[in-house]
Amino acid sequence: MSEYEYCIGTSSGSMANLEEMSVSGSSCPIYAPKGTYQPYSDQVVLVSGLVRGLGYPKASWNWSIIPQNQRDALRQFCPGQSANVYIKTKTMDSKDSYETFSAVMIWPTQTEERDTGRRINFTIEFRFMVKI
């Protein structure tokens, strides 16, 4: 049984838990990321002083250190700068609440900090998220 429910796939039916990932037929489990979730892309303060959320939800997955093979397994879902994917990610509703979304995955090509056989402070962003 998986310790967490972070999942990714190119369709809602093909999503795989990160712990159960495989690359070229061999097992490549990916450690749980530190996930962030924002229910709105932006917020605006109304004349009344209330705050209204605007736009789609967005999320990010961050690893302080991720081995090269795990990074490469994730890269298969986003061979360019961005790609349409399906994810299951932790939300803010409760401690163990996960939701499934279609999303645009943004690859961090400008900020990948390389180290021998791994990446440091590696973050993937998900935008234009639509709850499934």
- Per-residue pLDDT band for 23 (boundaries 50, 70, 90) equals low
Give me the residue spans of the domains in the chain: 7-131
44, 67 Cβ separation under 8 angstroms:
no
Q: Report residue 73: phi and psi, to 5°.
A: -65, -40
pTM: 0.88
Per-residue pLDDT reduced to its tens digit, 40-72: 999 999 999 999 999 999 999 999 999 998 998
Q: What length does the chain have?
A: 132
